[in-house]
Amino acid sequence: MELDNKVATQLFSHLHDYLVEFLKLTRYALGECELCKGAKLIHPLLCHHCYADLPLFTYQHLGHNLLNWPAIDKLFPNRTFDQLLCLAPYAEPFNHWLKQFKYQQRFELADLFAFLLTELLREQYFENNDCGILSVPIHLNKWQQRGFNQAHLIASAFNKRTKLPYLDSALVRSSYSESQVGQSGKLRRKLLKNAFDISEEVDTFPSNIILIDDVITTGSTVNALCKLLKLKGVKHITVLTVAFTLPK
């Protein structure tokens, strides 16, 4: 009798697991908008209405470049990249999504970001044979500690959607420094100056690069990378991020 109970408990537990998995799959297949639970989806996590309501930057008067906005141009005086495209200011729902992505490992959001970034890039590069994707690297120790690099996850999803080549191991973060939050701009730049390397496996880069990160703040990280890339003969760099946040 005791054995029967054990078997029954095990069976019940398996059944429960299957049911949970089944419900998860059904929810994904049928789809439900993240924001309003609506079903008229444009992406497995987003409906048409909420997509239209997202507080995205509008680019029609900016020549498709945030750097043409004088207030933003001033924030990056010594930049080494040519174009800045960000989906939105760091505000709802993007701040919420980015936190869930990074701290709660909601990796399915990478494809939602990639979907929105693909829409944002429009067709600027899609037919271009001399174009590649890069992502801002983190140090191997940090990758091991955290288990993932959010910029890489977004870039991989973006690569799947656009089919643009992704040079996923071309950039290396060679120095391992603690979080840069709270450090002065001058100190940040000093620490970052020698923080990156280019992998020896890469001889030449495409002329046009799309450099992906989750958020841009001071731009010092991407600047340090772009300086290296320009030395390697890259002609045009587009920095592409989910959110833009003002430095404090």
Please give the residue ranges that form the binding site for Zn ion (CB under 5 A): 33, 35-36, 38, 47, 50
Sign of CA dihedral 52, 55, 57, 60: positive
The least CB distance from residue 89 to Zn ion, in Å, is 20
Radius of gyration of the chain (CA): 21
Sign of CA dihedral 153, 227, 232, 235: positive
The least CB distance from residue 42 to Zn ion, in Å, is 9
Overall size of the chain counted in residues:
248
Quick one: 3 or 29, whose CB is closer to Zn ion? 29
Strand residues in the chain grouped as ranges (E)? 41-43, 46-47, 83-89, 131-135, 171-173, 196-198, 208-216, 236-244
The least CB distance from residue 56 to Zn ion, in Å, is 15
Quick one: 32 or 168, whose CB is closer to Zn ion? 32
How far is it, in rounded angstroms, from Cα 42 to Cα 115?
A: 10
The least CB distance from residue 34 to Zn ion, in Å, is 7
Omega of the bond leading into 89 within 30 degrees of 0 (cis) = no
The least CB distance from residue 31 to Zn ion, in Å, is 10
